[in-house]
Chain A
Amino acid sequence: MRARFLFVFLLLVAPVATAQPADRKSQLLNSRHDFRATSRAPTRAVDTADACVFCHTPHNANPAERLWNRPLPAQPFPVYSSSTLAASIGPMTAEDASKLCLSCHDGTIALGETISSGMLEFVQGRGYTLPPESAANLAAGQGFSDDHPYAFVPVPGPEIQMPPPGDAVRLDARGRLQCTSCHEPHEEWRDPAVGKFLVKPNPASALCLSCHRTAGWLHSSHRTPPDPVANLRYTEAQGAHTGYLGVSNNGCESCHRPHAPQVGQRLLKFPEEQVCYTCHDGSVATTARNIRAEFQSKLYTHPVSVTPSVHDAAEAPASARHPLPETSLATPRHVECADCHNPHAATATEAQPPNVSGSLTGVRGYSSSGDHLSRSANEFEICFKCHADSVNKPQRNDATGSGIGYGRNPLRQHDLGNPEAFNTRIEFHMLLSYHPVTRPRNLSIGPGGEVPSLRSAPVTPAGAPLPRRTLSPTSYIYCTDCHNNDTGRNLGTLSGPTGPHGSNQPHLLERANALEPPPAYPGEFTPGVSYALEEYALCNKCHDVEGSVLRDQSFPEHRKHIRDQNAACSTCHDPHASSTPMLINFDLSVVGPNSLGALEYRRTGFRQGTCSLRCHGKDHIRTPY
């Protein structure tokens, strides 16, 4: 009986409890919008007793709607635009309530200017307008191009929803987003940490999420940093502007700012990599994720700090303005953090090759068959965005092979006159022999196999197996197994960040892979590389150089070439791929044609072949093994 009574009672109460709380106008008193002479607000009138008159009048209002009592803004300012914005942002119309807000906040009309009572004098002076240096003057600087758009109809899509019914965030009667969708001008402190007249509390960007359903955000490390201590290191001193502490609670505003960010498009707080460096400079994220140091201290980097090198989120093969892969030689190369990372979706999850790890989750890519992917499943697909079919790859312009900022480039035998030279997608996916990046190699291993040198797991520089990794005929490897930080966790013992951000090894290699100094003429004598295992640390990661290669387990002349004659692995082998078996693709800056004009490796059988070439002054005429 009692339970039933309770149920009826709850039924009666429930609608009241869930109803949208109406806006209480008297909350305005003593807020920053209370301009009475007796208000506690610093900006206020000299002797006006009435709080409402600064915006409203009961009679003869203009415009009538909301009984407005102020002249309306007339000065045009640039509005927000972005290459990924689906909605169209036009000029404000007379019906847009935002116009009322901007009658103070565009900085052109005095705060004391009223229709009913003329000019009301302010403590700050008669005719006081919001000065350009005031954060409340939204038009100062870049106009409204650096403010969240307003007075427009949002277009729902995969990442944009209409605010749900009952949400404090509301569109106006015509379905348009206005200043008042996010701000309730009569109540300053609904969010006790932020203020700013927000319509609801905004911890973890709850207010933004009423409309923005950014893919991947729910599980992102940037929503919930895996290290709770690092999370809380993001403070006002580190650039947190909301009043909240920590990356988690600052949410979107750890990187974005709805008004007056430094970069208008996509409302980024700082340009490009500077946003990421806010935390990834060792100050907030752990030193294991100090990425800034990589870019700033290493000899070879993905040059994100080169400006203007601009990533655009609209990049795609079909994009007219931002085609990627690039279709014109004249298009400058670019790379930014966001080319490889999706900060909304990144996680700390580990993965096995070829799959993307958490830090590369949700990034667009380019498949091994040349298709645009909205979400890369494999790591190489991200690399292929720029290192495959783009026509502006820098090696094209590197006639001397000296390397333009990335180290000496071997002049490969099969690259001469090859339009697809340096197209890593073609290399790895189409050629005869290849490292297993996009497809497994299926060569026999072990003593007596075709690749007897292959280890059962990649090893650290000290020789210990890397955790959670194995090698087999069917295994894949990552691009980043070779191109990676030379001082990162990827080396097994050190604590630096992983990933090909920067390295002191040419070609952004993780470990050394020595090249021979070219002789004056190809084929002539060169001192080569005097042998030490460290010179080939990279190859030794997966191939047992001293336990197998130098013991001549595959090619019986390996020891003679490498130890005795100081030849380098790279002089004969192309570490990516080759249209000749066994990754043979001679470096033509070292190797030349023989006295008969021939330059060729020919495989004649299992562990059998002939070489026609001249190298270190030594003529090979179909020299067999």
Chain B
Amino acid sequence: MRKWTLFLYIVLAVSLAASGVQAQQRVPKTAIVNSSHDLRSTFNAASFTLCTFCHVAHKPGDAPEGPGPLLWNHTLSSVASYGIYSSDSFDALNTDITDLGGQTTVSNLCLSCHDGTVAVNSFYEPVLGANFQPIPEGTTFMPSSARIRDLSKSHPVNFTYDSNLANAAALRVPASTSSVDGNGLVPLFNGKMQCATCHDPHNGNSGIFARPFPTQTSGTFCTYCHI
């Protein structure tokens, strides 16, 4: 009886492998280690500072008011307008897409470093530890090659990606308001596309911190949504 069960498992495993179905896994946060989002060596910081460039576990005492989500610890940008992508073939134009300037969406967290106006080492809660020196806080900015300041020249974000839009623009119909695939690999945020829909800032396995898209048959993940 047990042999039978084993046999069935083997058959199942072989057929799954043969059919090319390979379930993608969410990337563990540890994948950030030694990636370009691992800023410890750049700032000559202590090993325990890995997360604290972006997150803080506690905001004790009279900590200044900061964005709550994701225990954010990086000073937000004060840029008032990033612009909005527009084109006569962009179907989400004139929907609920808004300028990210002055907002606190999840994409604003990315832009708090990547718009280039706030130093990478600018924090709500100063990171403790002698090894963090000698680079003074608030002095090192994002290199220009990684800066995104004008969102009218970038793939649009901060718009609702739902079945209406998908049908109009020949996109994959999202499985839920929290992810395109339904398993959280390609997340949406209250139904909206944001930077983190394509990028996983912890995925050091990918040079561009790409999400582990369920299929990448084309060698490009664009066609996951742009079917």
Enumerate chain A interface residues (CB-CB to B < 8 A).
19, 21-26, 29, 36-38, 49-53, 56, 58-62, 64-67, 172-174
The 8 A CB mask of B184-227 against A (1 = contact, 0 = none) is: 00000000000000100000000000000000011110110011
Q: How far is the CA of A56 from the CA of B226 in the complex (A)?
A: 13
Enumerate chain B interface residues (CB-CB to A < 8 A).
85-89, 148, 150, 152-155, 167-170, 198, 217-220, 222-223, 226-227
Known contacts A25-B227, A66-B87, A173-B88; is-contact A49 B168 (Cβ 8 Å) = no
Q: Are B226 and A64 in contact (CB under 8 A)?
A: no
Q: Are A49 and B86 in contact (CB under 8 A)?
A: no
Q: Are B223 and A26 in contact (CB under 8 A)?
A: yes
Known contacts A22-B168, A24-B170, A26-B227; is-contact A59 B220 (Cβ 8 Å) = no
Chain A residue numbers with a CB within 8 Å of B150 are 60, 64
Q: Which of B148, B155, B170 contacts A25 (CB 8 A)?
A: B170
Chain B residue numbers with a CB within 8 Å of A174 are 88
Chain A residue numbers with a CB within 8 Å of B152 are 64
Q: Are A26 and B218 in contact (CB under 8 A)?
A: yes
Q: Smallest CB-CB separation from B226: which chain A residue?
A: A25
Given contacts A23-B170, A26-B218, 19 further A-B contacts (CB under 8 A): A22-B170, A24-B170, A24-B227, A25-B170, A25-B222, A25-B227, A26-B226, A36-B218, A38-B219, A49-B219, A51-B218, A53-B220, A61-B153, A64-B85, A64-B87, A64-B152, A65-B87, A66-B89, A67-B155
Chain A residue numbers with a CB within 8 Å of B154 are 58-61, 67
Chain B residue numbers with a CB within 8 Å of A60 are 148, 150, 153-154
Chain B residue numbers with a CB within 8 Å of A19 are 167
Q: How far is the CA of A56 from the CA of B156 in the complex (A)?
A: 13
Give min CB distance, A23 to chain B, whole Å: 6
Can you identify 7 A-B contacts, CB atoms within 8 angstroms? A29-B223, A49-B219, A56-B222, A58-B155, A62-B153, A66-B89, A172-B88
Q: How far is the CA of A11 from the CA of B220 in the complex (A)?
A: 39
Q: How far is the CA of A314 from the CA of B142 in the complex (A)?
A: 63
Chain A residue numbers with a CB within 8 Å of B226 are 24-26
Chain B residue numbers with a CB within 8 Å of A67 are 85, 153-155
Q: Are A29 and B218 in contact (CB under 8 A)?
A: yes
Q: Are A59 and B153 in contact (CB under 8 A)?
A: yes
B150, B198, B223: most-surrounded residue (chain A CB, <10 A): B223
Q: How far is the CA of A306 from the CA of B34 in the complex (A)?
A: 79
Chain A residue numbers with a CB within 8 Å of B88 are 65, 172-174
Give min CB distance, A283 to chain B, whole Å: 45
Chain A residue numbers with a CB within 8 Å of B168 are 22
Q: Smallest CB-CB separation from B216: which chain A residue?
A: A49
Chain A residue numbers with a CB within 8 Å of B222 are 25, 50-52, 56
Give min CB distance, B202 to chain A, whole Å: 19
Q: Smallest CB-CB separation from A62: which chain B residue?
A: B153
Give min CB distance, B2 to chain A, whole Å: 44
B89, B167, B198: most-surrounded residue (chain A CB, <10 A): B89
